[in-house]
Amino acid sequence: VYEVFENVAKKYDVMNDSMTLGIHRVWKDIFMHKMNPCPGTLLLDVAGGTGDIAFRFINYVRSVRQRQLQRKLKHHQNLSWQEIFDSYQKDQFNSLGDSQVVVCDINREMLKVGKQKAQHLGYSEGLSWVLGNAEELPFDDDKFDVYTIAFGIRNVTRIDLALQEAYRVLKPGGRFLCLEFSHVSNPLLSRLYDLYSFQVIPVLGEVIAGDWRSYQYLVESIRQFPPQEELKAMIEDAGFFKVDYENLNFGIVAIHSGFKL
Amino acid sequence: VKCQHCPPVRALQASATLRRAPDEHKKEPLTSSSQQHFDSPPAGHQPEQEPRGTHHSYTGQGGQESEDYESEEQLQHRILTAALEFVPEHGWTAEAIAEGAKTLGLSVAAAGMFHSDGSELILHFVSECNTKLSKLLEKEQKLVQLGEAEKKPIDEFLRDAVEARLRMLIPYIEKWPQALSVLLLPRNIPSSLSLLTSMIDDIWHYAGDQSTDFNWYTRRAVLTGIYNTTELVMMQDSSPGFEDTWRFLGNRVADAMTMSNTASQVQSTGEAVVQGLMGAAVTVSNAETSRAMR
């Protein structure tokens, strides 16, 4: 798995766009909307190498924070100018409302690309980058509000261990969210999807990234991955409650969610 | 009675410690008697338990859980109750729920269990208010039965009941219009409608059978109309102590009472009118036939 991603790191984003025809951006946006984080949330994004989820999180929290501040100002109509000025000062340096995201990945290359992207796009505060293995996270218990793993869990060898680790590092009341390719139940769509996956994607891999084999691996690993209900059962086994999933695009992608209660 | 789908019976490990920690927020601990609550009759008969939704919304979970653990439903209830405190500041939103979860020692992410528009919070609040009203009316009824209080005339009873129920909105009055609009969303209409009708039925139940010449549907409709219009007036009311609203309420109840008296008159008038029309119709058709025959 490590070598696959070493090859893939630099061209990761480009390949994502071409493989999914850019729809992966929409999937990730929907994912973020489902999370609906409020300012002050501590997020752990596992296998989040190039930072897509992390950046979306920061954007989302920033805009929620803006709205919060606006509402507070409206409330403060009756205060004196001095008081308003003071409250502005205090909140100005808190545009994220103490929210933070820790991006954890097993692969140094992916983290490097992520850091470069962050710099390039101007994300400076609220981000940390940590090298780590999903099956054995380098964090204490009960730390995070939300744990996400987007398109990463199928690459984990022992999914049950990763789920147990997720449970461990989450605070009580914390949420587990997983975005992953899943099974299409509709037979017609399934055939079209298979056709596209096995014929088109490895070719794109060769053309864009010069690497046929990694993308062949990718497509096969998608097929090997447990379907929605099975993954839901595994998440429940790890101790999560209110486990649910939402299919996007008829099951090509699914969002699983569970709570540590 | 609509029952919620039972979640798998599993103990919530974390909640065991949670329940011991914030003692200020703790109500009486759930005793094992409450675990059989699932099939027993609704609220009024379980005096010390945390208020649950009465007839229609969430019912408590029973089963093999021991005293220390609670079900997801009960935890959700506690979060929503805790969230109500933050509604005046944040509105009926996921933020209020997140703040409520925080006070219980849970992560803010727990708000993700609920819909982001705050529907569950509002429905929870409405059902709690209805339960409170039920208890209040039952208490009053007991007093009357024991002879310690006079039985109120029907118009006064209705007025007091509606006023008591509407007064529960006062702490949240600023954000209530927002709540009303959420309750009207197609998704929420079945629940909000059933909560409303069960509350109205409750009031009529405790009003006892006093002859008002109304049949059951009319009574329901009339009181629902009175309640809804008074609620809307209350949203706009800025008079001290909402005195304008209560005056409006008194007038509407009085109207309803007069209507019931004239109803029987209307009925007989109606019959007379119908007979007159029939007679006219017969006369006209006779005239036509006779003209045709000529």
Q: Using CA of residue A213, residue A219, residue A223, residue A224, what is the dihedral sign?
A: positive
A82: Cβ contacts below 8 Å, ≥ 6 apart: none
Do B76 and B126 share a structural domain? no
- Our count of domains for chain B comes to 2
β-pair type (A144-150, A127-131): unpaired
Residue of chain A whose Cα is closest to the Cα of B103: A173
Tell whether A30 is within 8 A of chain B (Cβ): no
- A145 to B109: CB separation less than 8 angstroms, yes or no: yes
B195: Cβ contacts below 8 Å, ≥ 6 apart: B56, B57, B123, B126, B127, B130
Do B166 and B154 share a structural domain? yes
Inside any domain, residue B125: yes
How many contacts (CB atoms, under 8 Å) link A and B? 70
Which of A38, A143, A235 is the best mutation test for B, with the most CBs of B within 10 A?
A: A38
Single pTM value for the model: 0.75
Do B127 and B98 share a structural domain? no
Tell whether A259 is within 8 A of chain B (Cβ): yes
Residues 179-238 of chain A whose Cβ lies under 8 A from any Cβ of chain B: 236
Tell whether A61 is within 8 A of chain B (Cβ): no
What average pLDDT does range B213-218 have in this prediction? 69
How many Å apart are CA B76 and CA A183, to the nearest integer? 32
The architecture (CATH level 2) of A1-182+225-260 comes to 3-Layer(aba) Sandwich (3.40)
Do B123 and B112 share a structural domain? no
Residue B265: pLDDT band (50, 70, 90) is: low
Residue A97: pLDDT band (50, 70, 90) is: confident
- B109 to A259: CB separation less than 8 angstroms, yes or no: yes
How many Å apart are CA B277 and CA B265, to the nearest integer? 18
pLDDT winner (highest mean) among A214-218, B16-20, B80-84: B80-84
Inside any domain, residue B256: yes
pLDDT in the model for residue B263: 60
pLDDT digits (tens, 9 = 90+) for B246-256: 999 999 999 88
Tell whether A175 is within 8 A of chain B (Cβ): yes
Q: A101 - beta bridge partners?
A: A43, A127
How many Å apart are CA A48 and CA A97, to the nearest integer? 22
Do B261 and B140 share a structural domain? yes
Which residues of chain A are within 8 Å of residue B10 when distances are taken between CB atoms? 241
Tell which residue, A27, A31, A60, has the closest CA to residue A147. Answer: A31
Nearest CB to B107: which of A34, A174, A257?
A174
Nearest CB to B72: which of A34, A236, A261?
A261
How many Å apart are CA B100 and CA B87, to the nearest integer? 9
Tell whether A174 is within 8 A of chain B (Cβ): yes
Do B104 and B124 share a structural domain? no
Do B191 and B82 share a structural domain? no
| Domain that includes residue B226, residue range | 118-278
User: Final residue of a domain: which of B86, B116, B146?
Assistant: B116
Do B188 and B95 share a structural domain? no
Inside any domain, residue B53: no
Residue A215: pLDDT band (50, 70, 90) is: confident
Do B248 and B106 share a structural domain? no
- B107 to A241: CB separation less than 8 angstroms, yes or no: no
Residue B161 has pLDDT above 80, yes or no: yes
Do B208 and B103 share a structural domain? no
- A38 to B111: CB separation less than 8 angstroms, yes or no: yes
How many Å apart are CA A159 and CA A224, to the nearest integer? 13
- A38 to B98: CB separation less than 8 angstroms, yes or no: yes
A163-167, B64-68, B141-145: which range is least confident on average? B64-68
Q: A148 - beta bridge partners?
A: A45, A177
Inside any domain, residue B283: no
- For A127, phi and psi rounded to 5 degrees? -115, 135
Which residues of chain A are within 8 Å of residue B100 when distances are taken between CB atoms? none
3-state secondary structure of A223: helix
- Exposure string over B122-136, b if 16+ CB within 10 A, otherwise e: bbbbbbbbbbbbbeb
Do B202 and B82 share a structural domain? no
User: Final residue of a domain: which of B89, B116, B143?
Assistant: B116
CA B183 to chain centre: 12
- B13 to A37: CB separation less than 8 angstroms, yes or no: no
Do B226 and B122 share a structural domain? yes
